[in-house]
Amino acid sequence: MADAKKVVFITGASSGIGRACAALLHERGYLVYGTSRKPAPIEPWRMVVLDVRDDASVSAAAAQILAEQGRVDVLINNAGMVLAGALEDTTLDEALAQLDTNVLGALRMCKAVLPAMRAQRSGVIINMGSIAGRVGLPFQGLYSASKFALEGFTEALRLETRPFGVRAVVVEPGDIATGVVQNRVRAAASGEGSAYLGAFRKVVASYEKDESGGASPDVVARTVLAIIEKGAPAVRYSTGPIAQRLLSGLKPFLPSKVFEFGLRVFYGL
């Protein structure tokens, strides 16, 4: 049983991976604060309204938790969005929304809790990446870019905060059965009139099939729990369907043309 005084701060905890993490950590005795952009249903753990794209919202939520508990031991940057569309069809505003949510949102959260973590000389920051942070996915290029960014972000953060006793880790789930199919945002220009429409529809249908049959969010939650309870976690952990984990792991060892050919065949491009 974990120390009940350990405080966990989870963004995007109203559903999917975030909610699974909140439920498991609450069950194991952690003091959990979950967040969502809108008031969420009552849960056994605390829920706080927070929008990772809003500086004031982030600051207010962090201040509330620190006022109530005096510390934050674990930050799980889980909130995110998935933008689909050909890169050419994606407007700069759409791209900015994707990167603001998935990358700058994590930065806002880190900036909000790091002063307290440094003062207490301990803490764990877990950034929810993706297999898409290792493999550029067609028609989800900006999503992949955001997850690639979190990989480098975590590596740098890990080096910067280690002297203060803070450990940074990135988790890379493959396809997980969450609400991503319903919540995926499509670029406005990705519909009729797009030069990429046929391929776009085929590839997104493939994504949705794999996501609907993906692993349970509980798989990711168990990985997160193991990371928190490790004395010295590694920089990254992949989780989810084994085939996807093996594929991403093979990428550095295969000639780039071979790996790309395999992706083209898989997605019918």
Q: Which residues are catalytic?
A: 143
**Are the CB atoms for 2 and 28 separated by under 8 Å?**
yes
Please state the three-class secondary structure of 101-138 as a single string. HHHHHHHHHHHHHHHHHHHHCCEEEEEECCHHHCCCCC
Residues 6+ apart with CB under 8 A from 149: 99, 102, 103
Q: Locate 201 and state its tokens.
A: 């529809």
CA distance 268 to 266: 6
Distance CA 215, CA 191 (A): 30
CA–CA dist 133, 150 (Å, integer): 8
Angle at 240 between CA 52 and CA 102, to 5 degrees: 15
Count of residues for the chain?
A: 269
C-alpha span between 140 and 149 (Å, rounded): 14
